[in-house]
């Protein structure tokens, strides 16, 4: 089953609707120039259909909103009253304050034209996409889309891969806590909710119970492309490893979940526990260049998954246990992490990942507490590489 919101573009409702279209070549429209003047008859004809745009923008600059409104087609007026048009214009002050216009791209076909103009290209650079049609022998504005610039907060989200993980991690924790309403309403987008009801979402969770019963998570391969974020999550429980692909988009200046896709499910085969070692120890790799340099556990991490304060004692039995595995020279090395409760000899499902870059690397993962909380006592964290290196760390939950 695949849950995903349907969207026409990564920015969906970032565009505010209205109307217009255009012809060929690049045209600079000067505010003081007379659009009626042209050096040749051919230029007069090729530029004539652009005149409504120039006329409208001049009228808006002069606060003559009625004349600006008269440049629009009947369909535009049927969908948008004069009052709504004035409200729209005042929402974007640059329509009346710009000092320069560039026609960035335009096409024309029979009685329809499309063009994108840029207001103040050297400063604000606000694009407007126009669609025009011929009505009673005259060109009229049929549609007008203004594309506002991204806020600094959104711009930061679009370039920071670490901002994808928190919303997915938070939703998974809500699912683990059986707070399905929170997982659905707080972390998914409006488009997701429009195409996938809460009841359908709950059926999806029944079909893939790992989302609510997982014991450990592993986040990897975050990507952001043209406003859309993706991140792969591996969920580990005692029976299998479920690999999910989350798709995210920005809504109200924060990432929201657009889609959840189960990529694959494989059996989880846990190895027998290592013997108890009452402190952190390390066994070198058969390949001398690979090494585990450090293991850390804690109950708080930053946005990149780095533990804020390493611990060896946990006072709460309901804390998520975060793990950082520090390795060096581990390119294409597989690392497997196990967590064992020593008193009961219980072992959580192992977590594994393959390192995709050379040099120093930090692997960040987490173990969620059982529904009744962690059993008190001693725990051993084991990290093993495909080349034979080992590292162990002992900690307690009181």
Q: Which of 237, 267, 297 is the last residue of a domain?
A: 267
One domain for residues 258 and 310? no
Shared domain check, 336 and 232: no
Kindly report the CATH number assigned to the domain that includes residue 52: 3.10.450.50
Give the dihedral sign, CA 292/334/273/350. positive
**Three-state secondary-structure class, residue 383:** strand
- pLDDT at 149 (0 to 100): 66
Q: Could you give the C-alpha distances from 2 to 173, 196, 236, 267, 384, in angstroms and in order?
A: 20, 10, 20, 21, 34
In a domain, 276, yes or no: no
CA 380 – CA 277 distance, rounded (Å):
8
Among residues 66, 94, 92, 91, the alpha carbon closest in space to that of 81 is found at: 66
Residues of the chain predicted below pLDDT 70: 1-47, 104-105, 123-124, 148-150, 226, 268-288
Both 22 and 138 in a single domain?
yes
Show the domain range for 172.
153-267
Residue 381's DSSP bridge partners are: 339, 393
Domain match, 303 and 382 both: yes
Q: Are residues 115 and 161 in the same domain?
A: no
Instruction: Assess if residue 274 is contained within a domain.
Output: no
Are 69 and 184 contained in the same domain?
A: no
Is residue 140 domain-shared with residue 39, that is, in the same domain? yes
* Domain count of the fold of the chain: 3
Is 2 a domain residue?
Answer: no
Cα–Cα distances in angstroms (integers) from residue 256 to residues 39, 252, 391, in the given order:
53, 9, 37
Burial class (CB in 10 A: 0-12, 13-18, 19+), 236: buried
Last residue of a domain, one of 216, 234, 267: 267
- Decide if 273 is inside a domain: no
End-of-domain residue from the set 267, 289, 307: 267
**Structure tokens given for 396:** 């307690």
Residue 162's CATH number: 3.10.450.100
| Residues 286 and 359 reside in one and the same domain | yes
Instruction: Answer yes or no: pTM beyond 0.75.
Output: no
Residues 6+ apart with CB under 8 A from 237: 210, 213, 214, 215, 268, 349
């Amino acid at each position: 089953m695949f849950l995903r919101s349907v969207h026409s573009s990564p920015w969906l409702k970032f565009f505010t609707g209205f109307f217009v279209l255009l012809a060929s070549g690049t045209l600079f429209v000067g505010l003081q120039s007379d659009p009626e003047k042209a050096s040749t008859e051919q230029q007069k004809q090729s530029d004539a259909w652009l005149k409504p745009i120039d006329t409208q923008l001049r009228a808006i600059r002069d606060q003559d909103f009625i004349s600006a409104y008269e440049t629009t087609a009947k369909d535009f007026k049927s969908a948008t009253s004069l009052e709504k048009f004035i409200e729209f214009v005042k929402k974007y002050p640059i329509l009346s304050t710009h000092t320069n216009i560039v026609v960035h791209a335009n096409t024309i076909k029979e009685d329809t034209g499309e063009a994108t103009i840029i207001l103040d290209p050297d400063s604000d650079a606000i694009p407007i996409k126009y669609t025009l049609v011929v009505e009673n022998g005259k060109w009229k504005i049929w549609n007008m889309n203004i594309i506002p610039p991204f806020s600094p907060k959104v711009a930061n989200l679009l370039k920071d891969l670490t901002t994808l993980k928190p919303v997915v991690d938070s939703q998974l924790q809500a699912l683990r806590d059986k707070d399905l309403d929170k997982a659905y309403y707080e972390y998914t987008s409006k488009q997701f909710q429009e195409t996938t009801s809460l009841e359908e979402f709950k059926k999806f969770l029944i079909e893939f119970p790992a989302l609510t019963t997982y014991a450990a998570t592993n986040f990897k391969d975050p990507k952001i492309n043209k406003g859309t974020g993706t991140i792969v999550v591996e969920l580990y429980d005692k029976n299998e490893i479920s690999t999910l692909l989350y798709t995210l988009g920005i809504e109200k200046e924060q990432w929201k979940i657009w889609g959840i896709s189960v990529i694959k499910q494989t059996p989880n085969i846990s190895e027998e526990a290592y013997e108890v070692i009452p402190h952190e120890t390390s066994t070198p790799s058969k390949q001398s260049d690979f090494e585990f340099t450090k293991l850390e556990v804690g109950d708080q991490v930053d946005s990149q998954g780095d533990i804020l304060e390493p611990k060896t004692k946990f006072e709460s039995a309901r804390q998520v246990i975060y793990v950082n595995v520090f390795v060096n020279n581990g390119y294409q090395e597989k690392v497997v992490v196990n967590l064992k409760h020593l008193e009961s000899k219980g072992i959580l499902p192992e977590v594994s990942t393959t390192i995709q870059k050379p040099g120093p690397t930090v692997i960040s993962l987490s173990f969620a507490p059982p529904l009744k909380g962690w059993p008190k006592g001693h725990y051993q964290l084991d990290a093993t590489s495909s080349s034979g290196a080992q590292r162990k760390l002992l900690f307690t939950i009181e």
